Chains A and B, each alone.
Chain A
Amino acid sequence: MTSATAAGGVKPPAARKSRKSVTGTRRMVAALFLLPALVLLGALVVYPIGYSVVRSFYDQSGDGFAGIDNYKALFTDEGIRTALKNNIIWVVFAPTVATALGLIFAVLTERVRWGTAFKLVVFMPMAISMLAAGIIFRLVYDQDPDKGVANAVWVGVHDTFAPSSAFPKAHPGRDSPLEPAGGGAFITKSPVRAGEAVSLPLVGVAPRLMPDDAKAAVAPEPQPDKVTGTAWQDFTRGRGVGTLNEVDRAELGYAGMKVEAVKDGKVVASATAADDGTFTLPASADGAQLRLPASNFKEPYNGLDWLGPSLVTPSIIGSYIWMWAGFAMVLIAAGLASVPRELLEAARVDGASEWQVFRRVTVPLLAPVLAVVTVTLMINVLKIFDLVFIIAPGSSQDDANVLALELYRKGFSEDQPGIASAISVFLLLLVIPVMWFNVRRLRREVRR
Chain B
Amino acid sequence: MKAKEPLGSRLAEAVGGGVLRVFLIIVGLFWLVPTIGLLLSSLRSPEDIAASGWWNVFTEPSQITFDSYAKLLENDDITSSLLNTVWITVPATLLVVIIGSLAGYAFAWMEFPGRDWWFLGVVGLLVVPVQVALIPIAELFGTIGIFGSVLGVVLFHVGFGLPFAVFLLRNFFAEIPRELLEAARLDGAGELRLFFRVVLPLGGPAIAALGIFQFLWVWNDMLVALIFSDSGSQPITVALQTQVRQFGNNIDVLAPGAFISMVVPLAVFFAFQRQFVSGVMAGAVK
Q: Interface segment, A129-137, A157-165, A197-205, A234-242?
A: A129-137
If A10-B205, A122-B27 touch, whether A31 touches B112 (CB-CB below 8 Å) is: yes
- Asked whether A135 lies within 8 Å of B126 as measured between CB atoms, the reply is no
- Docked complex Cα distance between A16 and B202 (Å): 14
If A12-B172, A15-B175, A21-B111 touch, whether A33 touches B106 (CB-CB below 8 Å) is: yes
CB distance from A103 to the nearest CB of B (A): 13
- Asked whether A438 lies within 8 Å of B103 as measured between CB atoms, the reply is no
- Docked complex Cα distance between A13 and B277 (Å): 18
Of chain A, the residue at the smallest CB distance from B189 is A23
Of the residues A15, A19, A136, contact of B108 by C-beta under 8 Å = A19
- Asked whether B278 lies within 8 Å of A373 as measured between CB atoms, the reply is no
In the complex, chain B residues whose CB is within 8 Å of the CB of A122: 27-28, 31
If A14-B177, A23-B185, A131-B237 touch, whether A435 touches B126 (CB-CB below 8 Å) is: yes
In the complex, chain B residues whose CB is within 8 Å of the CB of A379: 127, 129, 286
CB of A327 closer than 8 Å to a CB of B:
yes
Interface residue count on the A side (C-beta < 8 Å): 116
Type the 1/0 row for B244-282, where 1 means its CB is closer than 8 Å to any CB of A.
Answer: 110100010011001101100110110001001110111
Type the 1/0 row for B164-199, where 1 means its CB is closer than 8 Å to any CB of A.
Answer: 001010011011111001100100001100110000
- Asked whether B24 lies within 8 Å of A112 as measured between CB atoms, the reply is yes
Of chain A, the residue at the smallest CB distance from B219 is A129
CB of A209 closer than 8 Å to a CB of B:
no
Q: Summarize A's interface: helix, strand, loop or mixed.
A: helix
- Docked complex Cα distance between A31 and B284 (Å): 29
- Asked whether A5 lies within 8 Å of B171 as measured between CB atoms, the reply is yes
CB of B130 closer than 8 Å to a CB of A:
yes
CB distance from B274 to the nearest CB of A (A): 10
Of the residues A8, A36, A322, A442, contact of B102 by C-beta under 8 Å = A36
Of chain B, the residue at the smallest CB distance from A442 is B123
CB distance from A58 to the nearest CB of B (A): 12
In the complex, chain A residues whose CB is within 8 Å of the CB of B109: 19, 21-22
Type the 1/0 row for A404-423, where 1 means its CB is closer than 8 Å to any CB of B.
Answer: 10011001100001001101
CB distance from B156 to the nearest CB of A (A): 6
Of the residues A138, A330, A417, A420, contact of B277 by C-beta under 8 Å = A330
- Asked whether A136 lies within 8 Å of B37 as measured between CB atoms, the reply is yes
- Asked whether A13 lies within 8 Å of B100 as measured between CB atoms, the reply is no
- Asked whether B280 lies within 8 Å of A330 as measured between CB atoms, the reply is yes
Of the residues A128, A331, A373, A425, contact of B262 by C-beta under 8 Å = A128
Of chain A, the residue at the smallest CB distance from B267 is A127
CB distance from A447 to the nearest CB of B (A): 7
**Which residues of B come within 8 Å of A, CB atoms?**
17, 20-21, 23-24, 27-28, 30-35, 37-38, 41, 49, 52-55, 99-100, 102-103, 105-112, 116, 118-120, 122-140, 155-156, 158-160, 162-163, 166, 168, 171-172, 174-178, 181-182, 185, 190-191, 194-195, 202, 205-206, 209, 216, 219-223, 226-227, 237, 240-241, 244-245, 247, 251, 254-255, 258-259, 261-262, 265-266, 268-269, 273, 276-278, 280-286
